[in-house]
Amino acid sequence: MTTAQQRPVLPSVILETERLRLRAFVEEDIDDVYATCNDPEFQRWLPLPRPGAPYTRADAEQWCREIAPGTRIGGEGQQWAVVAKDTGRLVGAMGLVRVMWEAMNAEIGYWASPWARGLGYTGEAVVAVSRWALDRGFQRLEIKAATANIGSRRVAEKAGFTFEGVERSAMPLHEGRTDLAVYGLIPADRA
């Protein structure tokens, strides 16, 4: 007899947009994950693997081999590698995380590789994941971004999310803490 309630597991799917393929992380993504996660602008807003610790190649290997696939298998959400169709190169990551199954709520988290910023890929991927999640019955999706991270906030707004407020001192950084702007999307928001 088990006392832990099992969480649903999302299906392993590939999502496609006009320019992108969202798929599982693979071994060939390790170098690009490592390069992206060591980018100073990335580290400014996402203190991975944890505040105060440098991001290593072993962290990238663990992400691609264990953590990203484990998110889906453990019923915690889903992680996708975002790949440009024309080059096949990793341009970012997209995750449906912090899933609250009882309420059918989840957060969308993302990052863009430095060589792919400013091209609209992240917004395109957010729209694809949002549609997919709402089609699966999710009732609320959130995006949280550091209040000073204008690029990430712009992604949420362009993807149709509504600014709802600020969580004060909500996330640790490598140095200090940051407030998070909270954006929401519900089924009624779909146009």
Residues 95-138: tens digit of each pLDDT: 999 999 999 999 999 999 999 999 999 999 999 999 999 999 99
Q: What is the pTM of this model?
A: 0.94
Residues 29-56: tens digit of each pLDDT: 999 999 999 999 999 999 999 999 999 9
β-sheet bridge partners, residue 142: 107, 184
> What CA dihedral angle connects 40, 155, 7 and 61, to 10 degrees?
-30
As a whole number of angstroms, the distance between CA 146 and CA 156 comes to: 12
Radius of gyration over every alpha carbon of the chain, rounded to an integer in angstroms: 16
As a whole number of angstroms, the distance between CA 155 and CA 146 comes to: 12
